[in-house]
Structure 1
Amino acid sequence: NHYFRLACKHKIHDARCQYNVAVTYDRMGQRHNAIMHYGHAVNSRSGSAPAFDVSAVMRRMAELQAEHVGQ
């Protein structure tokens, strides 16, 4: 995760980079960081087709938020 963060530090608007950081945080169980980076990924995508399934990302964000509230 450290290396993804370094690679994406100056690429806040790079949807693919933000998505990869989000997935890494998600797998590490760091919900808050995962939600934040999934949000950056969704909001950063340009008019072209995204490199990830936006609907699936939105569902995952909702799941993580529900888990966070349930704690």
Structure 2
Amino acid sequence: MELIIVLVIALVVLGPKRLPDAGKSLGRGIREFKGSLSGDTKDDDEREERELAAIQPVAVAEPVAEPERVA
């Protein structure tokens, strides 16, 4: 019963559009807190490596020489 009351108050305060984002942020915070308590940094390192691997440099084309102007 108490959980329903808390959820209704959160819905009234945050509104239906911001409530899912607040839930995601809360879940992410709890996950990080649990990870810091357990001292499990391997997951964090692997996640960072995956994120860095996903960001790959964009290939840049060589500049094209401008045609010579005839005066």
TM-score normalised by structure 2 residue count: 0.33
More helix by share: 1
Q: Which has the larger radius of gyration?
A: 2
Higher relative contact order (CA 8 A, sep 6+): 1
